[in-house]
Amino acid sequence: MENEKIIIKPLLTEKSYSGIANKVYTFIVAKNAGKVEIKNAVEKLFNVKVARVNTSIVKGHKKTQNTKAGRTVGKTSDYKKAVVTLTADSKTIAFFDSLS
56-74 residue pLDDT tens: 999 999 999 999 989 999 9
pLDDT at 1: 79
Residues 19 and 25: beta-carbon distance below 8 Å: yes
Number of residues that this document lists for the chain: 100
pLDDT tens profile 3-56:
889 999 999 999 999 999 999 999 999 999 999 999 999 999 999 999 999 999
Q: In the chain, what are the domain boundaries?
A: 3-91
Residue-level pLDDT at 100: 60
Q: What pLDDT, on the 0 to 100 scale, is given for residue 41?
A: 96
Question: Looking at domain 3-91, what is its CATH homologous superfamily?
Answer: RRM (RNA recognition motif) domain (3.30.70.330)
> Which residues, other chains included, contact 13 with Cβ-Cβ below 8 Å and sequence gap of 6+?
26
C-alpha gyration radius of the chain:
16
pLDDT class of 97 with cuts at 50, 70, 90: confident
